[in-house]
């Protein structure tokens, strides 16, 4: 009986594929479902990936005729390494769940295409900002996830970046910025300028969640850059000193030979000419320039870039680091001034009235030294060709003066002097600037008796106004010329030395002016200075001799162990007003290694 039961169980044992698994499903059924699932998934994934190809993205004429044409000249399409970032690389997430969410979102875009919402170029442009904002907001939310598929900020080597990029990436680590905050319009036409000020501030503000620890590799790279910069500066100084010594020797030799020949030819027959002596004094200001420290500073044409322009994120990408982080202009732009000047002088940026042929920048060699009583500075640069100004009779704005040199000093009591130098005094409502008030408005102003408005609004400091209009919202004029504080407030600022000291030399009239900038620009009242200016063989050499210590109101006394904010401007080619070339703001010191202009003792 037992054997029969065993035999019956063996006979009725189900086949392997008929064995039941979860929920009564047989193995055969599971295999069928698996194969069908693989085929379905393979087909689904193949179809999905087909929509992730550039060919699919530009399959409709709206994309092919618009964004694709903008994308082709960009570095993401073609570059020296041959790595191309296509449409899906930037617009389709790699993680599966995020990818599916994006595909569902894309159905709305397909609907817009089906209904012809962006059927023509005009309709596309009408909706471009809306589409761009959608992408920007998505990338902001994900910490620029698609950018980071290729670019990881933690892997960046600052040694291969420009100074501005180094600083901005360091800010990104420390403040919580993400790629899209700065890099809009890199593959398509930018419409960032169409954002309102409120939108711009919101979309580009730092996110504390994105703050990262600065990688050791990045910090080490910055340290190597600083070290190399010092080596390069020392090497350049040695090479320049050698070149100057060689030139000086050649000149002395040529002068000696010329004198000997002249004296021999003019001596009585048979009488030997007396031995000649050299007069090497080229200036009435007697200084041993071989003991001075030297630095080349490239000044540039500033156009209409006022202090309000600098603080406005719509105009200036570095506005937030400047205003919130206290970044200095020179940190990012010291090596970019020539390129900046070329862009502005051409009218490409920040200039409504470009002067054809005007040079965008001027490399200036600045030598600085001092003794017990005086600071000596020598400015040398190549003179340029005359370029007539088309909107001025005779083509010369200041016919009496082919060149003017203005030098400015300030301590840190002037808010923006530490970051922007003399830019702290330049405003959007100053004479010949975009928001300058007209003559009738100035004449009727209640402030005409307190500040100099005779020839328009002059330079002034923010501290003397109750408010500065930065953004120009609601059609408001930028600046604050008519928001003057009380006389008592301005007197208090003078007592706190919250002004900028200005010294100016006019070459044609040989006039030295020494004043200050506070509520307006006053060109009198200072201790004065001595200048010696020469234009020889196409090169200007202007020497300034100025007392270190002054008891005059509006003057900045200069002492050791202190850094001073310094800047200068040159009006060359008979120019006037804002049509000059200016320096960024630098730090001046006396035998101070922290100074960018370090005057050495005689």
pLDDT in tens, 369-416: 999 999 999 999 999 999 999 999 999 999 999 999 999 999 999 999
Query: What is the rounded radius of gyration, in angstroms, for the C-alpha atoms of the chain?
Result: 35
Output the CA torsion 108→113→116→122 (10° steps).
100
pLDDT band at 474 (very low <50, low <70, confident <90, very high): confident
Output the CA torsion 475→480→484→485 (10° steps).
100
Write down how long the chain is. Answer: 602
Q: Is the pLDDT of residue 269 over 50?
A: no
Q: Is the pLDDT of residue 324 over 90?
A: no
Nearest to 583 by CA among 313, 294, 296: 296
Task: Please give the average per-residue pLDDT across 173-196, as a whole number.
Answer: 92
Instruction: Answer with the residue of higher pLDDT: 229 or 253.
Output: 229
From 256-260, 440-444, 496-500, the region with the lowest mean pLDDT: 256-260
Angle between helices 163-171 and 216-265 (to 10 degrees): 150
What is the Cα–Cα distance from 492 to 76, expressed in whole angstroms? 56
Per-residue H/E/C for 320-380 = HHHHCCCCCHHHHHCCCHHHHHHHHHCCCCCCCCCCCCCCCEEEEEEEEEECCCEEEEEEE
What's the pLDDT at 21? 60
The alpha carbon dihedral of 354, 356, 358, 360 has a sign of: positive
Tokens standing for 601? 């003792």
Task: Please give the average per-residue pLDDT across 217-223, as a whole number.
Answer: 94
Token pair 């190597």: residue: 224
pLDDT digits (tens, 9 = 90+) for 345-377: 999 999 999 999 999 999 999 999 999 999 999
Q: Is the pLDDT of residue 113 over 90?
A: no
What is the Cα–Cα distance from 146 to 98, expressed in whole angstroms? 11
Q: Is the pLDDT of residue 61 over 80?
A: no
Q: Is the pLDDT of residue 65 over 70?
A: yes
Instruction: Answer with the residue of higher pLDDT: 248 or 289.
Output: 289
What is the Cα–Cα distance from 512 to 531, expressed in whole angstroms? 7
What's the pLDDT at 258? 78
Is the distance from CB of 282 to CB of 536 less than 8 angstroms? no
Nearest to 566 by CA among 299, 286, 234: 299
Task: Please give the average per-residue pLDDT across 522-541, as a whole number.
Answer: 95
DSSP for residue 290: G
523 burial type by CB count under 10 A (0-12 exposed, 13-18 middle, 19+ buried): middle
What's the pLDDT at 267? 53
Q: Which residues have C-beta within 8 Å of that of residue 14, sequence separation ≥ 6? A: 20
From residue 143, alpha-carbon distances to 102, 134, 253 in Å are: 16, 14, 67
pLDDT band at 223 (very low <50, low <70, confident <90, very high): very high
Is the distance from CB of 586 to CB of 366 less than 8 angstroms? no
Is the distance from CB of 485 to CB of 495 less than 8 angstroms? no
pLDDT band at 281 (very low <50, low <70, confident <90, very high): very low
Q: Which of 56-65, 131-140, 143-152, 568-577 tops mean pLDDT?
A: 568-577
The mean predicted confidence, pLDDT, of the chain is: 88
What's the pLDDT at 480? 97
Nearest to 341 by CA among 583, 87, 38: 583
- β-pairing verdict for 586-590 and 597-601: parallel
From 91-105, 249-263, 273-287, 555-569, the region with the lowest mean pLDDT: 273-287
pLDDT band at 430 (very low <50, low <70, confident <90, very high): very high
The alpha carbon dihedral of 367, 162, 154, 313 has a sign of: positive
What's the pLDDT at 279? 39
DSSP result, 369-410:
EE-SSEEEEEEEEE-------TTSGGG-SSTT-SEEEEEEEE
Question: How much of the chain, in percent, has pLDDT values that exceed 90?
Answer: 66
Question: How much of the chain, in percent, has pLDDT values that exceed 70?
Answer: 91
Q: Is the pLDDT of residue 46 over 80?
A: no
Q: Which residues have C-beta within 8 Å of that of residue 111, sequence separation ≥ 6? A: none
pLDDT digits (tens, 9 = 90+) for 444-466: 999 999 999 999 999 999 999 99
Angle between helices 197-204 and 121-141 (to 10 degrees): 40
372 burial type by CB count under 10 A (0-12 exposed, 13-18 middle, 19+ buried): exposed
Beta bridge partners of 299: 362
pTM to 2 decimal places: 0.81
Nearest to 179 by CA among 189, 193, 169: 169
What's the pLDDT at 112? 72
pLDDT band at 101 (very low <50, low <70, confident <90, very high): confident
Q: Is the pLDDT of residue 204 over 80?
A: yes
- Phi/psi for 377 (5° steps) reads -135, 135
What's the pLDDT at 3? 56
Q: Which residues have C-beta within 8 Å of that of residue 446, sequence separation ≥ 6? A: none
What is the Cα–Cα distance from 225 to 192, expressed in whole angstroms? 33
455 burial type by CB count under 10 A (0-12 exposed, 13-18 middle, 19+ buried): exposed
What's the pLDDT at 4? 55
Task: Please give the average per-residue pLDDT across 152-180, as a whole number.
Answer: 92
DSSP for residue 481: T
pLDDT band at 11 (very low <50, low <70, confident <90, very high): low
Q: Is the pLDDT of residue 548 over 90?
A: yes
Beta bridge partners of 363: 298
104-140 burial: b if 16+ Cβ within 10 Å, else e: eeeeeeeebeeeeebeeeeebeeebeebbeeebebbb
**Please, where are the H alpha helices in 424-534?**
439-443, 487-495
């Amino acid at each position: 009986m037992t054997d029969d039961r065993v035999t019956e169980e063996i006979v009725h044992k189900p086949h392997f594929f008929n064995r039941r698994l979860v929920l009564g499903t047989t193995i055969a059924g599971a295999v069928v479902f698996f194969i069908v699932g693989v085929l379905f998934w393979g087909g689904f994934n193949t179809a999905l990936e087909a929509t992730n190809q550039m060919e699919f993205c530009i399959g409709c004429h709206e994309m092919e005729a618009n964004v694709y044409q903008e994308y082709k000249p960009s570095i993401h399409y073609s570059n020296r390494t041959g790595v191309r970032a296509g449409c899906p690389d930037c617009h389709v997430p790699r993680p599966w769940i995020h990818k599916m969410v994006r595909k569902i979102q894309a159905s709305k875009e397909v609907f817009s295409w089906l209904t012809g919402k962006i059927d023509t170029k005009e309709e596309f442009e009408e909706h471009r900002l809306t589409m761009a904002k959608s992408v920007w907001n998505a990338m902001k939310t994900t910490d620029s996830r698609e950018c980071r598929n290729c670019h990881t900020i933690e892997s960046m080597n600052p040694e291969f970046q420009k100074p501005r990029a180094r600083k901005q990436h360091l800010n990104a680590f420390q403040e919580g910025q993400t790629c899209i905050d700065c890099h809009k319009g890199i593959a398509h036409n930018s419409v960032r300028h169409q954002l309102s000020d409120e939108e711009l501030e919101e979309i580009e503000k730092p996110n504390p969640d994105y703050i990262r620890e600065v990688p050791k590799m990045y910090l080490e790279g910055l340290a190597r850059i600083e070290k190399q910069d010092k080596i390069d500066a020392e090497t350049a100084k040695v090479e320049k000193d050698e070149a100057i010594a060689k030139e000086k020797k050649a000149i002395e030799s040529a002068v000696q030979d010329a004198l000997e020949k002249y004296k021999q030819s003019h001596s009585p027959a048979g009488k030997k000419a007396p031995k000649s002596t050299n007069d090497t004094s080229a200036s009435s200001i007697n200084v041993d320039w071989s003991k001075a420290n030297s630095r080349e500073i490239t000044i540039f044409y500033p156009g209409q870039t006022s202090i309000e322009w600098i603080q406005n994120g719509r105009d200036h990408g570095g506005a937030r680091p400047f205003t919130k982080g206290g970044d200095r202009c020179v940190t990012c732009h010291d090596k970019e001034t020539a390129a900046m000047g070329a862009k502005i002088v051409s009218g490409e940026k920040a200039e409504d009235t470009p002067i054809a042929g005007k040079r965008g920048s001027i490399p200036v060699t600045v030598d600085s030294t001092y003794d017990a009583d005086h600071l000596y500075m020598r400015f040398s640069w190549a003179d340029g060709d005359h370029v007539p100004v088309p909107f001025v009779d005779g083509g010369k704005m200041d016919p009496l003066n082919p060149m003017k040199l203005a030098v400015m000093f300030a301590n840190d009591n002037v808010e923006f002097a530490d970051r922007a130098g003399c830019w702290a005094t330049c405003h959007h409502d100053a004479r010949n600037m975009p928001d300058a008030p007209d003559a009738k408005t100035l004449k009727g102003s209640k402030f005409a008796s307190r500040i100099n408005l005779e020839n328009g609004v002059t330079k002034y400091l923010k501290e003397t106004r109750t408010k500065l209009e930065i953004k120009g919202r609601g059609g408001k004029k930028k600046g604050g010329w008519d928001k003057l504080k009380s006389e008592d407030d301005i007197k208090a600022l003078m007592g706190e030395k919250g002004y900028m000291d200005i010294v100016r030399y006019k070459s044609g009239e040989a006039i030295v002016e020494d004043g200050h900038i506070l509520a307006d620009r006053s060109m009198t009242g200072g201790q004065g200075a001595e200048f010696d200016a020469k234009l020889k063989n196409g090169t200007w050499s202007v020497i300034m001799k100025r007392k270190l210590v002054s008891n005059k109101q509006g003057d900045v006394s200069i002492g050791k162990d202190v850094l001073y904010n310094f800047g200068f401007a040159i009006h060359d080619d008979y120019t006037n007003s804002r049509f000059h070339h200016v320096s960024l703001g630098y730090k001046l010191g006396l035998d101070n290694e922290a100074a960018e202009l370090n005057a050495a003792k005689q």
